[in-house]
């Protein structure tokens, strides 16, 4: 299997797409596609033979938990599952102590946390790569899978029109960095008070990102190539449920919206979906939906990330 290797990523942390160059982001997508195609054709090299990944979860997970575990197995490596119940960092042990232990046993750490500062502290003290499996600020692994899906769908990503409808959350923030690297035009439709992170937006715009903020979601969807949504209420925001549902009235995507997209337009959602809130079940299972292609590509994109950071290439 001929796989694109990005030497500048070897041994690095993967906390934010904003930390990457355009070439490094494209290298992850290229290698993900190469690894995916190779596996589909029966070429299954043990690229991570003898490597071990520690997986730490503060939050529930289906896709992140399953795909990182399967990715390590299929690449010839091994994963160790750790929950907050097991390690009790911040209570039983400090994050620094956890990092100092794990770096002696494993080759990398993937953590899915609430606070992004937990990841940055972990990365500061661990002398092995730390991967952001999700934080309240960013979700870089998800957007790597999403842009792999777009690469398969459209080929050239430059000039692609993408519309994100919903909360300016971790997925929205990572969309900004991904669009910046891809040269895509991104529109974010959200109510007042639910904008993406100001620092993320400023950093990306300073580097040439084309990002517009709309308040009318239906207007934002007109002519777009990609209509993307996510939950309005993330884990840890349950007490804001009623407030958020009221603020996002009119933001529920149904198949009727699809008539306003570009002729090649598709619908995306990173899952889990809260049907009747950000979208309907009919939208997710519509012929224009690529939702489960995205879910599949979490596996392949994460193989590429693991390969670039951990493999002896």
Residues 109 and 147 in one domain: no
Residues 286 and 302 in one domain: no
Which tokens belong to 309?
Answer: 């950071």
Kindly report the number of other CB atoms within 10 A of residue 98's CB atom: 24
Which tokens belong to 269?
Answer: 């959602």
Distance CA 8, CA 23 (A): 10
Residues 128 and 229 in one domain: no
Give CA angle at 299 (296, 304), nearest 5°.
Answer: 130
Are the beta carbons of 129 and 12 closer than 8 angstroms? Answer: yes
Give CA angle at 179 (20, 303), nearest 5°.
Answer: 55
Residues 97 and 173 in one domain: no
> 């939050």: which residue's tokens?
59
Closest to 211 measured CA to CA, from 239, 174, 261: 174
* Model confidence at 239: pLDDT above 80: no
- Adjacent-strand bridge partners of 181: none
DSSP tally for the chain: helices H, then strands E: 12, 9
Rounded to two decimals, the pTM is 0.97
Q: What is the pLDDT of residues 293-312, one digit of tens each?
A: 999 999 999 999 999 999 99
> Is residue 222, in this structure, part of any structural domain at all?
yes
Cα dist. 68→74, 151, 229 in Å?
Answer: 10, 21, 23
Q: In what order do the strands lie in the sheet with 130-134?
A: 78-83, 52-57, 108-112, 130-134
Averaged pLDDT for residues 176-196: 98
Minimum mean pLDDT among 128-142, 179-193, 236-250: which range? Answer: 236-250
Residues 86 and 104 in one domain: yes
pLDDT of residue 233: 82
Domains of the chain: total: 2
> Is residue 233, in this structure, part of any structural domain at all?
yes
Residues 108 and 198 in one domain: no
Q: What domain range is 149 assigned to?
A: 142-295
Helix, strand, or coil (residue 221) = helix
> Is residue 2, in this structure, part of any structural domain at all?
no
User: Looking at residue 116, which CATH number applies to its domain?
Assistant: 3.40.50.1370
Residue 154: burial class (beta carbons within 10 Å; 0-12, 13-18, 19+): middle
Q: What is the pLDDT of residues 31-85, one digit of tens each?
A: 999 999 999 999 999 999 999 999 999 988 999 999 999 999 999 999 999 988 8
Residues 212 and 226 in one domain: yes
Residues 161 and 272 in one domain: yes
Residues 74 and 149 in one domain: no
- DSSP label at residue 159: T
């Amino acid at each position: 299997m001929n796989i694109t290797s990005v030497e500048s990523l070897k041994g690095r942390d993967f906390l934010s797409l904003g930390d990457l160059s355009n070439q490094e982001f494209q290298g992850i997508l290229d290698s993900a596609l190469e690894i995916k195609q190779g596996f589909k054709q029966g070429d299954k090299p043990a690229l991570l033979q003898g490597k071990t990944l520690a997986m730490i979860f503060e939050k529930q997970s289906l896709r992140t938990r399953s795909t990182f575990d399967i990715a390590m197995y299929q690449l010839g490596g091994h994963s160790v599952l750790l929950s907050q119940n097991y390690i009790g960092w911040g209570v039983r042990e400090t994050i620094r102590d956890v990092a100092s232990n794990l770096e002696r046993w494993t080759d990398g750490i993937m953590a899915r946390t609430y606070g992004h500062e937990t990841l940055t502290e972990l990365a500061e003290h661990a002398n092995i790569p730390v991967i952001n499996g999700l934080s309240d600020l960013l979700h870089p692994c998800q957007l790597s899978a999403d842009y792999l899906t777009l690469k398969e769908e459209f080929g050239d990503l430059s000039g692609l029109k993408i519309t994100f409808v919903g909360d300016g959350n971790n997925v929205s923030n990572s969309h900004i960095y991904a669009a910046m690297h891809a040269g895509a035009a991104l529109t974010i439709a959200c109510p007042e008070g639910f904008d993406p992170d100001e620092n993320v937006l400023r950093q990306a715009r300073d580097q040439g990102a084309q990002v517009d903020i709309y308040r009318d979601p239906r207007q934002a969807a007109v002519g777009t190539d990609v209509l993307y949504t996510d939950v309005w209420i993330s884990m840890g925001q349950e007490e804001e449920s009623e407030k958020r549902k009221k603020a996002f009235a009119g933001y529920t995507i149904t198949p009727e919206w699809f008539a306003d997209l570009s002729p090649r337009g598709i619908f995306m959602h990173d899952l889990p979906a809260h049907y009747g809130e950000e979208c309907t079940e009919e939208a997710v299972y519509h012929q224009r939906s690529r939702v489960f292609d995205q879910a599949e590509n979490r596996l392949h994109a994460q193989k590429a990330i693991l390969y670039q950071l951990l493999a002896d290439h």
